[in-house]
Amino acid sequence: MLKQNYPIVWDLDRFYLGGSSSSALQQHLDEVKVKLGNFEVNIKKLEVPTAVQEAKQISHTIEELRDVAVNLSEASAVIGCYLAQDTTDKKATLLQGEVGSLYARLSSLMNTIQQVFSKTEGTVWEELLKTDELSQFEFVLNEWRENASKMLSEKEEDLITTLEVDGYHAWGQLYDMLVGDIRIKITIDGEEKSLSVGQANNLSSSDKAEIRKESFEALELAWTEKEDFIAKALNHLAGFRLATYKKRGWDNVLEEPLSINRMKQDTLDAMWGAISKNKAPFVEYLNRKSAMLGEKAMHWYDLDAPVSSSTEKMDFQQGAEFILKHFKEFGPKLEEFSRHAFENGWIEAEDRPNKRPGGFCTGMPVSQESRIFMTYSGTMSNVSTLAHELGHAFHSYALRPVHWMNTRYAMGVAETASTFAEMIVADAAVRESKSTDEKIALLEDKIQRSVAFFMNIHARFLFETRFYEERKEGIVSATRLNELMEEAQREAYGDALDTVHPHFWASKLHFYITDVPFYNFPYTFGYLFSLSIYAKAKEEGTGFEEKYIALLQDTAVMSVEDLAMKHLQEDITEEAFWKKGIDLCIQDVQEFLQLTNAKG
């Protein structure tokens, strides 16, 4: 078979020729500004609907909103890609600021629309939602109305949105700049190297103990040097959020993330409850692993260490073929779609300096394409990340026929498609293993994912909820942030850790994302939710793909509780639902413990 040669650098010229100084991009942004300006004029004239005959007018407003929103997010997504591929791209930084102000204006218009709609008299509202024009938007429109009722006056919300650009989102951007600027000095095989944070993070899975330890310590040192700056960014970002909540009369910091995720507190409690009660097998796994590494207890810097020498590396082309082969076993559409993404430069995977750390998938709604960003170094975990991001892109693809209003899904379900794709690849890898050693390595890769969702992300959640409580009383110092993180990690890892990572709060980008608060529990939700879907998919074979797509198409038009009930017939406010998913992960641990029994 001819070896494929998929591009390892993405194609962004397809959107606007010439990168961040593209005249086509500038022209597009100018057009967006004109559209936005016109829309602002129209919204000023918007009146509270008083009769069912106004459905046509409302539908027209929605179309205008859609037009501005998709064009703005097209530009914004591409600019985000420019910045990710080169954190020193100054022009892109400027454009990001420009787009930020446009978003603020759009968001303020959305507030106005929501406020005006929310004043509609109840019976008229009910009638409107039954019309041909609006019935398809029932869930979203009701959500708008409900959200508006929890907000301050239109004027006050408008002021907050305007101030967010410089007083809120800018803190997150400052954090990105600080991290992009950090260089990690480390000696590898006698050679001194200067690495980006992303490159240094990748050393956590090195097979050499001293490299893992050294890079961890070099990173901790770098975070310590910058801790006061980063703590300031975190404190003010959180302070802005809390001040806004206080003005709105929201006491619970989880109110907003739960509402964004269309999730009940009962569901979140049931999920963490089930996880907390089932940590023992994972603690046992960590103990076994540290013993296999010749240590008495687990160190943070050994968490990603390979436990088997036979951990195969796959170059990018091999990784791509592996993913495609196994996506195909699940369903033809996922495979076809992903092949298209590989062939057409949708993926940026090259390992080179000045790239942002981490991975993401972003959608360009006008072109109806996505772009995936990561730094690929050939580990199984890189292959998983790639599959994960392709899952996100597939979700956008599944939503192509759905109206923009009904595509705005929340984090929790957003991670469902990605985790699902990741699981197909991880399971396949275990199944295809050719030796016990390889099987151990691959099982471990799966278990590490469970550890990440049940322990690492749990620690982030515990840290963040506690940090926000303390922040209500005033500024939280870097020293205190370190303490809070250490406590959270010890608890979430069931006391299995010896060395912890106190500066994790500084190193994790997710705490600095301003678009979505609490960028953590939805990951765990998505993982366990995915496991149930995955279990059904395995039962039903390739025929399941159509049902899967139907579920994805419903992800933005109902609560997660209703979604689970409709497509999985499950009550997710009960711990029992979550326990089923956790049990699947415990099976991996049991198999791992058995296979490694002689090695401990």
CB of 520 to Zn ion, least distance (A): 12
Closest CA to 36 of 134, 105, 138: 105
Closer of 233 and 528 to Zn ion (Cβ): 528
For Zn ion, give the closer residue by CB, 226 or 395: 395
Shortest Cβ 36–Zn ion spacing (Å): 30
Question: C-beta of 502: minimal distance to Zn ion in Å?
Answer: 26
Q: Compare residues 299 and 356 and give the one whose CB is closer to Zn ion.
A: 356
Torsion angle defined by CA atoms of residues 558, 562, 564 and 567, in that order, rounded to the nearest 10 degrees: -80
Q: Of 138-177, which residues contact Zn ion (CB under 5 A)? A: none
User: CA separation (Å) from 24 to 28, 293, 413?
Assistant: 6, 55, 34
Whole-number Å distance between alpha carbons of 64 and 512: 32
Please list every residue from 98 through 127 that binds Zn ion, using CB under 5 A. none
Residue in this structure with the two tokens 């790639």, named with its chain if needed: 386
What Å distances lie between residue 400 and 62, 363, 368, 462, CA to CA?
Answer: 18, 11, 7, 37
Q: Which residue is nearest to Zn ion (CB)?
A: 418
Q: What are phi and psi of 361, to 5 degrees?
A: -130, 135
Q: Torsion-angle region of residue 597: left (phi > 0), alpha (psi -120 to 50) or beta?
A: alpha
> Rounded to whole angstroms, how far apart are CA atoms 495 and 246?
35
Comparing CB distances to Zn ion, the nearer of 144 and 523 is: 523
Size of the site for Zn ion (CB under 5 A): 1
The residue behind tokens 């000023």 is: 44
C-beta of 418 vs 553, nearer to Zn ion:
418
Least Cβ distance, residue 415 to Zn ion (angstroms): 5
What are the distances in angstroms from CA 310 to CA 422, 436, 555?
Answer: 21, 9, 40
**Helix 544-553 crosses helix 380-398 at what angle (to 10 degrees)?**
70
Helix, strand, coil share (%) of the chain residues, nearest 5? 70, 5, 25
Alpha-carbon Rg for the chain, nearest whole angstrom, is: 24
* Cα 361 to Cα 385: distance, rounded to the nearest angstrom: 10
Min dist CB 359 to Zn ion, Å, is 8
Q: CB-wise, 281 or 391, nearer to Zn ion?
A: 391
Q: How far apart are CA 552 and CA 405, in angstroms?
A: 15
Smallest distance from Zn ion to CB 422, Å: 9
- Which residue, 452 or 595, has its beta carbon nearer to Zn ion? 452
Q: At closest approach, how far in Å is the CB of 283 from Zn ion? A: 26
Residue with Cβ nearer Zn ion (77 or 141)? 77
Q: How far is the CB of 510 from Zn ion (least distance, A)?
A: 11
Q: Of the two residues 418 and 530, which places its CB atom closer to Zn ion in the complex?
A: 418
Cβ of residue 419: shortest distance to Zn ion, in angstroms? 8
Query: Buried b / exposed e across 208-238, counting CB within 10 Å, b at 16+?
Result: eeebbbbbbebbbebbeebbeebbebbbbbb
| 60 versus 408: smaller Cβ distance to Zn ion | 408
Q: What mask of x and - would describe binding to Zn ion in positions 415 to 454, judged by CB under 5 A?
A: ---x------------------------------------
Q: Which amino acid is at 404?
A: W
Residue 119 or 510 with smaller CB distance to Zn ion: 510
Residue found under tokens 């529990």: 521
**Which residue's CB is nearer to Zn ion, number 130 or number 408?**
408
Residue type, 413: V
Under rule CB under 5 A, which residues in 522-581 are in contact with Zn ion?
none
- Nearest residue (CB) to Zn ion, 452 versus 593: 452
**Which is it for the CA torsion 380, 213, 457, 361, positive or negative?**
negative
In the complex, the smallest distance separating the C-beta of residue 209 from Zn ion, rounded to whole angstroms, is 30
**527: which 2 tokens?**
């993982």
> What count of other Cβ atoms lies within 10 Å of the Cβ of residue 197?
22
Amino acid making up residue 542 = T
Minimum gap (Å) between residue 271 Cβ and Zn ion:
18
| Residue 597: strand, helix, or coil | helix
By three-state DSSP, how is residue 194 classified?
A: strand
Shortest reach from residue 526's CB to Zn ion, in Å: 8
List the x/- string, 391-420, binding to Zn ion by CB under 5 A.
---------------------------x--
Q: Which residue has the tokens 């591009």?
A: 7
Query: Least Å distance between CB 392 and Zn ion?
Result: 6
- Interface with Zn ion by CB under 5 A: which residues? 418
